[in-house]
Amino acid sequence: MKKLFLLVFLHLAGTSLWSQIRFDVSKMKKTEVPKLLTDKKPETQYLEMTYGGFSFLNNFNTKEIEGRIIKKIQYVYTDYPKDFDYTELNFQRFAALYVLMPSVFNKPWIEWEIVKQTKCQSSYEASKMFHGFVITFKQGPAPNTLINFTPDVLTKLDAIHSSVDLAPVKSDDDLSNFLCSKEMKISDVKYTNKASGIRMFTQTEPGEFSIVKGLMLTTGSAEGAKGPNNSPSTSFANNVVPSQDKQLLGSLQNTGTSVLLPNYLTSTGSLASAAYLFDQSTVEFDIRINADSLVFKYAFASEEYPEYLEFNDAFGLFITGPGLNDNPKESTLNLATLPDGKTPISVSSINHLKNQEYYTPNDFKTNPKIFKTWQYDGFTKVMTAKVKIKPMQTYHLKFTIADYGDPFYDSAIFIDAFATSAKSRPL
């Protein structure tokens, strides 16, 4: 298929407008099949078009489609007659879709594929085959679906006094005064998404999630993280422009853990170019410590629990510097791992089916205090990060989290104040 990277004048269905289709069709995945099987599934919507034309045959609710999370769009056409130049027809069909649903062309997390049907010997056979677009959705509730509690649940929630207060990080001193003890000093603090995604939090009667005061980074809105947990799909898009933090993506690429990257690993195991991050929140700084170790507690929470074990928002607690765990060279470690020190913590590695001893579901019956306080559907247990360091050396710490693959279903990390070993002295 020839390259279609177009500024076009559309005159379809009585609509005339100048607009731009902002993607390169030549870069889409190409597939050939004898004939597309159109088995209808709940997560699939078929937008059928006339053979040889660009009019849609079936009725569909475009607002309903655009309100769901679209994972993939396949454009399907038939290679008959053979040796025909389909560039113009294919363009007209893409333009027809653009007129109805322009927003799908500006969502970089959608995977596009062009499917050519080849088993056709006549115009009659071709007319009986499917032509048009196949839209595949992410299963589950639409973003920000709300649950109505029964009067009995509302009464019980009123009797629970757990709560959380959130406060912005107004200055670097705020961060330093909370995180650091007298043996530490931080400098060169940098933030990403500070306005909506980074907060200091203080819990009252915290229950099983036992970090009373801490630093919170979320891929969504920090204010939207407050409970009660009345939505299975809280989503707030801070930034739909994709980024590629190689350090963060690389933290999920571990031997034997390819399950963490189901949609973005190539056949050789390397990260595909479509491995996008969205809504990234980051706090990073240099730290000088007069001690031989650094210790702190943290937890991870996500709206992807418990349904989306194959999807993984990415987070990392990175430290870079000399002598980490007696390594003679300067190195970088991700401290957010299982006790094996290798497997990154994620929805896939800790959940109700795997490593359950580290998982806490956020449901009313099991954890009413967490349910009253926080929106996220699942938490890890409070974990401990610990690393051996060299006294009086400077290290770089980077705490970061991002939505992975699409900007929906928010996640968060919670970090407690730092501690050191007994062998420490004030700076």
Name the residue among 15, 233, 18, 31 with its Cα closest to residue 134. 31
Written as one string, the DSSP assignment of 335-395 is --B-TTSSSBPSTTTSSSSSSGGGEEE--TTT-HHHHHHB--SEEEPPEEEEEE--TTEEE
The rounded mean pLDDT for the chain is 86
Is pLDDT above 50 for 263?
A: no
d(Cα 335, Cα 343) in Å, to the nearest integer?
A: 10
Please report the sign of the dihedral spanned by the C-alpha atoms of residue 102, residue 108, residue 111, residue 114.
positive
| pLDDT grade for 252, boundaries at 50, 70 and 90 | low
Strands 411-415, 163-167: pairing kind = unpaired
Please report the sign of the dihedral spanned by the C-alpha atoms of residue 168, residue 382, residue 401, residue 333.
positive
When mean pLDDT is compared across 155-169, 231-245, 274-288, the lowest value belongs to 231-245
The DSSP bridge partners found for residue 30 are 114
d(Cα 378, Cα 357) in Å, to the nearest integer?
A: 13
H helices within 204-296, ranges in order?
Answer: 246-250
Is pLDDT above 70 for 13?
A: no
Q: Tens digits of per-residue pLDDT, 133-182?
A: 999 998 888 888 999 999 999 999 999 999 999 999 999 999 999 999 88
d(Cα 409, Cα 397) in Å, to the nearest integer?
A: 26
Output 311 or 196, whichever has higher pLDDT: 196
Q: Tens digits of per-residue pLDDT, 294-322?
A: 999 999 999 999 988 876 788 999 999 99
d(Cα 275, Cα 246) in Å, to the nearest integer?
A: 10
Would residue 375 be called left, alpha or beta, if left means φ above 0 and alpha means ψ between -120 and 50 degrees? alpha
